[in-house]
Amino acid sequence: MSTRQKSQGDVGRRDFLKLFGAAGAAGAAASALPLGGSASADDLMAATAADTKHHHGIAATEPHAGGSGYEFFNVDESAFIEAAVDTLLPSDSTGPGAKELGVATYIDRQMAGGYGKGDRLYLEGPFGEGTPEQGYQLPMTPSELIRAGIADANAFVQKTHKSTFDGLSAKDRAEVLADLEGGKVELPTVPTATFFGLLLQLTIEGYFADPMYGGNKDRAAWKMIGFPGADAMYMDKIEPFRNRPYKAEPKGIQDLI
Amino acid sequence: MATKLNAVDVLIVGLGWTGGIIAKELASTKLKIVALERGGPRDTNPDFVDPQIHDELRYAARHDLMQNVRRETITFRNSESQTALPMRQLGSFLPGQGVGGAGVHWNGVTWRWLEWDHQARTRTVDKYGEKIIPSDMHLQDWPITYDDLEPYYDKFEKTCGTSGKAGNINGRKIDGGNIFEGSRKDEYPNPPMIAAQSMVMFDKAARNLGYHPFPNPSSNASRDYVNPDGVAFGQCHYCGFCERFGCEANAKASPHFTVIPLAVKNPNFELRTNSIVLKVNLDSTRKKAVSVTYLDACGREFEQPADLIILSAYALGNVNLLLHSGIGVPYDPATGKGVVGRNYAYQCGGGATAFFDKETILNRFMGAGALGTTMDDFNGDNYDFVSAGYIGGGGISCSNSGARPIQSHPTPRGTPRWGSEWKKAVVDNYDHATSVGNQGAVMAYRQNYLSLDPTYTDVFGRPLMRMTFDFQDNEVRQMNGQADICVKIAKEMGAIKVDRSIPPVPYSIVPYQSTHNTGGAVFGADPSTSVLNKYLQVWDVPNVFVTGACVFPQNAGKNPTGPVGALAYWAVDAIKNQYLKDPGPLVPS
């Protein structure tokens, strides 16, 4: 066995991402469109089956930071997205959930805007499947991918559970998402792992991005982890606060203008 | 049909660090200079002001300051047996776009490469014999030594206000600096930055293990500074929004507020932004460049004649232009002949994520791009190649560049990717984890190269450049060997859990790894293995010079901007003092 083969067995792509995410030296992958079929055995996590209540809460028209209503999603899609983000990052004893922080609105705005429309995506053909190392090769923009994926996932749930996704119990929703993540479901239109990866990427982005993008309402996700946000000037603090907690009320960009 | 413009003396393609340095240094010649920059104009105010610049989504995740691959990208494959496919979105590396280039969004780590990096082949053969070099490795010396470049390294550090601690002045080794560095004539212009908690821990652990850590040479100014050109820098805020961002404080050295404004002051200089150069045009002898063809923002085509042409785009962009222009013979891996596209190399990694107990508080969000502690004990030829099993090691660092939470929320291996368990792990570890990482050299190989793609085109109709690249066994052994050392240090730092990792093998274009693409238009002493002579002048077309990291015969275990800047000063010195007096080849081929 060559060194190269061995090394692949030792460490997966995800561990590499974690390392460099922690280093802050990198991390673009966290924001990249996910890679079709890239999930390794290490990535296949058991369903968390978190004890989350099914919140029948925020309606599509409830005001969010950045304005109310959905620009991109139709009612079925917004119901799916709200339920999905609520399952991916639920409200629990650790901190607020993605839904209550406006992450569905964040995703809607992203899909309606330049990113969703592929403003930085090379979309010329011919289109080939390629290897995982060659990255995203679909002829779809993120908004086309998410729309097709939601339709696929809803159809799958309708077939297996005779329900819409948002109509499922929290436990069942977590199981469906775990099946999508683990590749146990093959969606007819989009590669399952690519769709799930984009959904998770957008959810984490919306949770931690500046509140002006519609999520992270009241900077609650930053409060939860202790990130002070956009108000960042530490030249006189980095030394005195070595190994000492630094407590500051996080501020977003709009709080400072 | 292109509109033909009046001829100018000097044409500069791409206005980042190297184009900016050359434009500024040539101002005294009274020559008519035009710079063409494919992106738009940018300035600290209003483009990089606080708080708007502290926007992780826009700049770090959505790459607002970088090349837009919708217009121009590359195709990629790991080996010749595959069909290359387009890099449809940015991932592994992030070329810049706009005035200042990648010099706006870099971190500011400003190395002098090790002496070995300049004479890698000779020194390897002298110490270990030819046999240690794998048959497919194109290990090449630079055509100049570290000592030749020393004054230019010094000049670039002073331009940048680099903050650091010398480890070798006139041969005298100094504890606390990098004792492995080549001999310097002078100290850094500014003292080291303030170390963060993680760096204090790394420094202590590395010393306990007998290694020689030192503060990174950082062009994030540790104090207010005025450089020799009279440009004022502010003190670094340690804001933690540095790499991928512009700097609100003018603390991170960037061409847009240093060399470029000085170039623009020259009444004989003209900057044309949003101007994309499609190719360099040669005369019928193919030995002389006569003009470039470019498009303006509205797509109007112009031909700009010039006597002297400087290609100072990003490393990949320069090679792309050479290939499109028919300058130099394209490399053919089957025959080993040709030079353009040969010796493309990259950076490799490997390291450890260190998780600490809750009593260890790192405040990682207080950071700066180049804030870190490094050791070179396993870099260059500072270790034994035979017992390690690899040539060209890497710097091992603990960096503290910020903790922006979309992209930095470390969790221990085995944590689910979502759900309550993920949330809890993120909260538990957000400020109690750091990493110890290797920045490894990648050597050049027969099978790793750049060429033109037969299928895909850019928005202007030109073939995309095709990258054929993979990590070879030498680099995989390096990543694993260096990762083991990182794990050892992380444990010595007191980590309660350590996750070891290396980048994906085969090399993947997907996850971010490094914007240190090197080679493809290398300089050397032999025209059969290099595109450029030692003054960065094209062997075949002497009125074209090429700058940037594309000139390195192989990569080093260090960031490239230090030698990139130093070589720009070196080349423009030769242009001013030799070429302009007697235009023609500066080195007989």
Q: Would you state the pLDDT for residue B589?
A: 85
Instruction: Provide the percentage of residues in chain B whose pLDDT is more than 90.
Output: 100
Q: Would you state the pLDDT for residue B467?
A: 99
The residue of chain A with its CA nearest to that of B408 is A21
Contact B412, B429 (CB under 8 A): yes
Record: contact A135-B360, CB cut-off 8 A = no
Residue pointed to by tokens 């992203």: A110
Residues 6+ apart with CB under 8 A from A172: A161
ipTM over the 0.85 cut-off: yes
Record: contact A20-B349, CB cut-off 8 A = yes
- The Cα of A3 is separated from the nearest Cα of chain B by a number of Å equal to 7
Q: Would you state the pLDDT for residue A67?
A: 55
pLDDT digits (tens, 9 = 90+) for B486-528: 999 999 999 999 999 999 999 999 999 999 999 999 999 999 9
Record: contact A20-B94, CB cut-off 8 A = no
Tokens of A95: 């901190």
Which of A13, A210, A257 comes nearest B511 by C-beta? A13
**By the CB < 8 Å criterion, does A246 face chain B?**
yes
**By the CB < 8 Å criterion, does A239 face chain B?**
yes
Chain B residues with CB under 8 Å of A131 CB are 78, 82, 506
The full set of domain ranges for chain B reads 3-579
The residue of chain B with its CA nearest to that of A52 is B420
pLDDT digits (tens, 9 = 90+) for B375-426: 999 999 999 999 999 999 999 999 999 999 999 999 999 999 999 999 999 9
Best residue of A6, A179, A216, A234 to probe chain B, by most B CBs closer than 10 Å: A234
The residue-averaged pLDDT of A79-100 equals 98
How many whole angstroms separate alpha carbon B581 and alpha carbon B466?
Answer: 39
Nearest of B227, B228, B246, B249 to residue B238 by alpha carbon? B249
The residue-averaged pLDDT of A49-78 equals 58
Q: Is A211 helix (H, G, I), strand (E, B) or coil?
A: helix
The full set of domain ranges for chain A reads 44-121+138-225, 228-257
Q: Would you state the pLDDT for residue A46?
A: 25
The residue of chain A with its CA nearest to that of B251 is A235
Tokens of B364: 């990682």
Q: Would you state the pLDDT for residue B1?
A: 82
Record: contact A29-B91, CB cut-off 8 A = yes
Record: contact A121-B88, CB cut-off 8 A = yes
Q: Which of residues 55-94 of A touch B (CB under 8 A)?
A: 87-90, 92, 94
In angstroms, the first-to-last Cα distance of chain A is: 59
Record: contact A121-B506, CB cut-off 8 A = no
Using CA atoms, how far residue B93 sits from A154, B163, B509, in Å, is 36, 26, 8
- DSSP class of residue B33? E
> Residue B470 pLDDT > 70, yes or no?
yes
CATH number 3.30.460.10 is the correct assignment for the domain at B3-579 = no
- The Cα of A84 is separated from the nearest Cα of chain B by a number of Å equal to 11
Record: contact B403-A232, CB cut-off 8 A = no
Q: Would you state the pLDDT for residue A17?
A: 39
User: Is B516 annotated as catalytic?
Assistant: yes
Residues 6+ apart with CB under 8 A from B281: B289, B290, B291, B292, B293, B303, B325
Record: contact A227-B365, CB cut-off 8 A = yes
pLDDT digits (tens, 9 = 90+) for B91-144: 999 999 999 999 999 999 999 999 999 999 999 999 999 999 999 999 999 999
- DSSP class of residue B58? I
Chain B residues with CB under 8 Å of A222 CB are 405
pLDDT digits (tens, 9 = 90+) for B37-77: 999 999 999 999 999 999 999 999 999 999 999 999 999 99
Burial label, B293 (beta-carbon count in 10 A; 0-12, 13-18, 19+): middle
Best residue of B360, B501, B502, B516 to probe chain A, by most A CBs closer than 10 Å: B501
The residue-averaged pLDDT of B339-363 equals 98
pLDDT digits (tens, 9 = 90+) for A125-150: 999 999 999 999 999 999 999 999 99
Best residue of B193, B238, B406, B499 to probe chain A, by most A CBs closer than 10 Å: B406
How many whole angstroms separate alpha carbon A204 and alpha carbon A84?
Answer: 12
Residues 6+ apart with CB under 8 A from A63: none
Q: B438 has which bridge partners?
A: B396
Which of A11, A21, A230 comes nearest B51 by C-beta? A230
Residue A8 or B173, more confident: B173
- The Cα of B323 is separated from the nearest Cα of chain A by a number of Å equal to 21
The residue of chain B with its CA nearest to that of A127 is B85
Mean pLDDT score across all residues of chain B: 98
Record: contact A204-B63, CB cut-off 8 A = no
Q: Would you state the pLDDT for residue B309?
A: 99
Q: Would you state the pLDDT for residue A58?
A: 37
> Residue B216 pLDDT > 70, yes or no?
yes
**By the CB < 8 Å criterion, does A44 face chain B?**
no
